[in-house]
Amino acid sequence: MSVEPITGRYLTVDIEGRTQRIYFEEAGQGRPVLCMHTAGADTRQWRHLMNDAGITGGNRLIAFDMPWHGKSLPPEGFETEEYLLTTETYIATVLAVIEGLGLDRPVLAGCSMGGRIALQLAALHGDRFAGFIAIEASDFQPAWYDIDWFHRPDAHGGEMGAALVSANISPHAPEAERWNTQWMFMASGPGVFRGDLGFYTRDDSLIGRLGQIDTKATPVHIMVGAYDLTCTPEDAQRTADAIPGATIAVMDELGHFPMSEHPEGFRPFFLDALARMRAGQEVAA
Amino acid sequence: MLEKIETMQQALGRTPHLVRLGRLFSDIVLLQVDEAEYYLHFDRGQLARIEPGPSRKTPWRFALRTDAEALRAFWEPRPEPGFHDLFGLVKIERARIDGDILALVKNLRFFKEFMALGRKGTRV
């Protein structure tokens, strides 16, 4: 029997004029590190790192479910809406959570679409953060599939989404964690994965903003798994090359969901990334 | 290759969860390996018949076209990046999918796991 150190609570904030009840989890003490999940999933992707005393000893890991994901309900009136995430709403959500939780220049660690928004925030709101860990993150990729597949009345979008993203999981990942990673996609709300992919595969606004990122003020470290078909090492390298001062690590045996699919393999890379980030007080100095 | 597919056919019959996943899948899939064609007649999650081609008359739902070397790499226990997944083969331009791709995506887990039955070390 065991009880994990992760605790979960709810934060209610106003985002773009709408009330959102957001679920967040945290573990550890010290410098705040805000962790962002991928498209079509939720904070459970960070469960292993949040249970890792070697990481939470000096870092307060906080992860939240984006509205429509996990334990964050969609907003009132969702039943007549088409969920389509936008860069503007995504940024407003992250900033509202930071403000709502009173976080002082956290490190932002995001994976996939979370990595994409991390780089957007690095370009547009770098002063609000101590650094950026952009995992499986790139400037832009158009879809190599039809995102409308994932929200149809005649098929199970979750099952299809999970089967598709399994292409991005490394064969080195432990079997149990491969399936735990896929479960979140299987269980996500109808149309949510599609709505996230709309943001990820159609908004190329980051490309023109990469040059605005000041890595002297806030470091940017990009990490990419060799088995990631969506954001390939080449995509990540191209993105790092466009950000003066950005660093990059290629993780040979990992895929697109490294913290979830293969926590042991990811751990040393994440510790290295944390070491590259500045403490908040250093930024203020 | 035919012998390999027959081995996978037998393995599928011994894999109850996969037969259950494919219980609504009754279609013909064309597997093209280099110049050789194999028409896989699936019937409610079982591979009922393997029909070697070529054929101009067999109405397949979707086709997976690849080469023997790529398939060998795909069937390694721990394939190299790109060779680890059917869509990976497509992305690195070692395979092509034709026909009704939505029929494939609707049954993607079933078909991926069926193809992985050829992988060394697969528990069947």
pLDDT given at position A85: 98
Of all residues in chain A, the one with the smallest CA distance to B107 is: A160
Q: What are the backbone dihedrals phi and psi of residue B76, each rounded to the nearest 5 degrees, phi first? A: -65, 150
Q: What is the CATH number of domain A7-284?
A: 3.40.50.1820
The structure tokens 């992988």 sit at B119
Distance CA B34, CA A80 (A): 50
Quick check: A226 and A250 in contact, CB under 8 A? Answer: yes
pLDDT per position as a tens digit, B44-72: 999 999 999 999 999 999 999 999 999 99
Strands A59-64 and B95-99: unpaired
The answer, as to whether pTM is greater than 0.85, is yes
Q: Cβ separation of A144 and B91 shorter than 8 Å?
A: yes
pLDDT computed for residue A281 by the predictor: 44
A229–B82 C-beta distance less than 8 A: yes
Strand order of the β-sheet with A131-135 is A7-15, A18-27, A59-64, A31-36, A107-111, A131-135, A220-225, A247-251
Q: Does B79 touch chain A (CB under 8 A)?
A: yes
Query: pLDDT of chain A along its 285 residues, tens only?
Result: 999 999 999 999 999 999 999 999 999 999 999 999 999 999 999 999 999 999 999 999 999 999 999 999 999 999 999 999 999 999 999 999 999 999 999 999 999 999 999 999 999 999 999 999 999 999 998 887 889 999 999 999 999 999 999 999 999 999 999 999 999 999 999 999 999 999 999 999 999 999 999 999 999 999 999 999 999 999 999 999 999 999 999 999 999 999 999 999 999 999 999 999 975 445 444
Q: Does the distance separating the beta carbons of A159 and B109 come in below 8 Å?
A: yes
Nearest to B84 among A144, A145, A171 (CB): A171
Contacts of B91 in chain A (CB under 8 A): 144, 229
Contact A29, A56 (CB under 8 A): yes
Q: What is the pLDDT of residue B68?
A: 98
Closest CA relative to residue A32, chosen from A123, A121, A114, A99: A99
CA A168 – CA A230 distance, rounded (Å): 7
- Inter-chain residue contact A227 with B84, CB threshold 8 Å: yes
- Nearest by CB: A171 against B78, B106, B108: B78
- For testing contact with chain A, the best of B92, B109, B113 (most A CBs within 10 A): B109
What burial letters (b/e) apply to B41-73, b meaning 16+ CB within 10 Å? bbeebbbeeeeeeeeeeeebbbbbbbeeebbeb
Q: Which residues of chain A make contact with B108, given a CB cutoff of 8 A?
A: 160, 163-164
pLDDT of residue A206: 97
Residue of B nearest to A162 (CA): B109
| A94, A24 contact by CB (below 8 A) | no
Quote the strand ranges of chain A, DSSP E. 7-15, 18-27, 31-36, 59-64, 107-111, 131-135, 220-225, 247-251
For B108, nearest residue in chain A (alpha carbons): A163
Closest partner CB to B106 (pick from A160, A162, A167): A160
Give chain A's mean pLDDT. Answer: 96
Mean pLDDT for B9-20 is: 97
Chains A, B: CB contacts within 8 A come to 42
Distance from CA of A227 to the nearest CA of B (A): 5
- On whether any CB of chain A is under 8 Å from the CB of B109, the answer is yes
- Which residue in chain B has the smallest CA separation from A255? B81
How confident is the model at residue B108, as a pLDDT?
A: 97
Strand (E) or helix (H) holding A182: helix A175-186
Would an 8 Å CB–CB cutoff place B24 in contact with chain A? Answer: no
Query: What is the C-alpha to C-alpha distance for residues A149 and A176, in angstroms, rounded to an integer?
Result: 27
